Structure 1
Amino acid sequence: MTDHAHDLVSVQDATERLLSAVGKLDNASVTEQSRLPGWSRGHVLAHLARNADALANVFEGRPMYVSAEARDADIERDAPRPLDAQLADVRESAARFQRAAAAVADWTRTVALRGGVTDTASRVPFRRWIEVELHHVDLGIGYELEELPAQFAERETGFLAERFTGHPDVPPTRITDGTRAWRTGRAADVPEVTVTGGRADLLGWLAGRRDGSDLTVTGGPLPALPPL
């Protein structure tokens, strides 16, 4: 069962870890390439700030973004800023997100996200937690998938497996770290592929952060996953 109160605390903790790590950079480092193609670290930080505001909009019954074009333009506008401005924006937007969450009266209601996706309000804090943790890794400043909190990594693996469940381009797939197992892809109309690996490698593959070369695959080739 989703515990939004726990997830809001976890978001705050993850944000503080990110801010502490980014605070050790300098202005030149912010302009350097991140691990995301075409994005500098400044782009990643700008996205994190604008995503916090977008999810506050969701809590308050507004569209996440005015448009996809406006979202992209805001990130491009904010990406070149110096370190102090980036830190302040991430911190202040995170506080706005927390204030919007504190005002939510009905956590069971359905909310609208991007691209026609809907979810319950109670799952929005976890979605924000995902943004903070994975984009901290994307900054390429020493925080790796292996360092993600164990509870988060397990939940995110299940979340991503659920996301690809029923996808026509993903074959029936069993994913396991040797302790837990998840299923994803199309209904099992053919023998399923089994993908086995460590927690970080499985999550990295599902999240598009690793190529899956360190995973063991039986029953067929490693499935090609659609972009998130």
Structure 2
Amino acid sequence: MIDHAHDLACVRDATERLLSAVAKMDNASLAQPSRLPGWSRGHVLAHLARNADALVNVLAGRPMYASAEARDADIERDAPRALEAQLTDLRESAARFQAAGDVPADWGRTVEMRNGVTDSASRVPFRRWVEVDLHHVDLGIGYELEDLPDEFIRRETEFLAQRFDGHGDVPPTRVTDGTHAWRTGRPADEPEITVSGRPAELVGWLAGRRDGAGLDVHGGTLPKLPPL
């Protein structure tokens, strides 16, 4: 069972890590490229702030974004801001999300994300945790996949394996870190391919942050995963 209160606490911790790290940056470093193609570090921070507000909308039963075009325009608008403005927006938008999470609600209800995707409201705090911690890594300022909490890596690996489960373009695959194992890809009695490796390498590959070169593959070649 998903514990949304626990995940909200994890979001707070991840946000504090992010804010502490960003506070050590300067305006010049904000303008430098992030690890995400086409985005500066300022783009990443602008996205994180707007994502917090978008998830407030989700919890309130409103559309996550007015439109895909409006989402992209807001990020482009906010990306060039100075460090202090970015920090203030990150902090204030995070507080709005936490306040929305603290409102008594039916956490078993179904909510709508982007592009018609639905999920349980109880999973929204974990989705925010994913945004904060993975994009912290994307900034390229010293926080790496290996620094992610063990619980986060295990749960995100499971979440992404489930996301690709049944996908016609992904061969039947067993994913394992040597302790835990997950199945993903097309349905089959037995997976054709086994992908194994360190937890950080697995989540990096599944999340599109690493090319899988650090993984061991048996039974075929490393599957090419669809974009998230």
**TM-score, normalised to structure 1's length?**
0.99
In the TM superposition, residue 104 of structure 1 has moved relative to its aligned partner by 4.1
1:46 maps to 46
How many Å separate the matches in 1 of 2:61 and 2:183?
A: 33
What's the secondary structure of 2:16's corresponding residue? helix
Runs (5+) with no aligned partner, structure 1: none
Matches within 5 A, 1:88-107: 88-107=88-107
1:165 maps to 165
Whether the 8 Å contact between 1:111 and 1:121 is mirrored in structure 2 is yes
In the TM superposition, residue 190 of structure 1 has moved relative to its aligned partner by 7.1
| Identity of matched residues, % | 76
How many Å separate the matches in 1 of 2:98 and 2:34?
A: 27
What do you get for the CA RMSD once the two structures are aligned?
0.9
How many Å separate the matches in 2 of 1:50 and 1:42?
A: 12
How many Å separate the matches in 2 of 1:189 and 1:162?
A: 17
How many Å separate the matches in 1 of 2:190 and 2:153?
A: 29
1:203 maps to 203
The one-letter amino acid of 1:29's match is S
In the TM superposition, residue 131 of structure 1 has moved relative to its aligned partner by 0.1
Q: Could you list the per-position Cα deviations for residues 124-153 of structure 1 after superposition, in whole angstroms to 9, with x for gaps in the alignment?
A: 000000000000000000000000000110
Q: Could you list the per-position Cα deviations for residues 40-90 of structure 1 after superposition, in whole angstroms to 9, with x for gaps in the alignment?
A: 000000000000000000111100000000000000000000000000001
Whether the 8 Å contact between 1:59 and 1:104 is mirrored in structure 2 is no
**Dislocated runs of 4+, deviation >2 Å:** none
2:131 maps to 131
What's the secondary structure of 1:80's corresponding residue? coil
How many Å separate the matches in 2 of 1:57 and 1:113?
A: 9
Whether the 8 Å contact between 2:194 and 2:219 is mirrored in structure 1 is yes
2:15 maps to 15
In the TM superposition, residue 103 of structure 1 has moved relative to its aligned partner by 1.5
How many Å separate the matches in 2 of 1:128 and 1:34?
A: 20
- Bigger drift between 126-135 and 180-189 goes to 180-189
What's the secondary structure of 2:61's corresponding residue? coil
Whether the 8 Å contact between 2:202 and 2:215 is mirrored in structure 1 is yes
How many Å separate the matches in 2 of 1:108 and 1:16?
A: 28
Whether the 8 Å contact between 2:183 and 2:191 is mirrored in structure 1 is no
What's the secondary structure of 2:43's corresponding residue? helix
- Bigger drift between 122-131 and 191-200 goes to 191-200
- Bigger drift between 186-195 and 35-44 goes to 186-195
How many residue pairs end up in the alignment?
Answer: 228
1:188 maps to 188
In the TM superposition, residue 191 of structure 1 has moved relative to its aligned partner by 5.0
Runs (5+) with no aligned partner, structure 2: none
In the TM superposition, residue 101 of structure 1 has moved relative to its aligned partner by 1.2
What's the secondary structure of 1:19's corresponding residue? helix
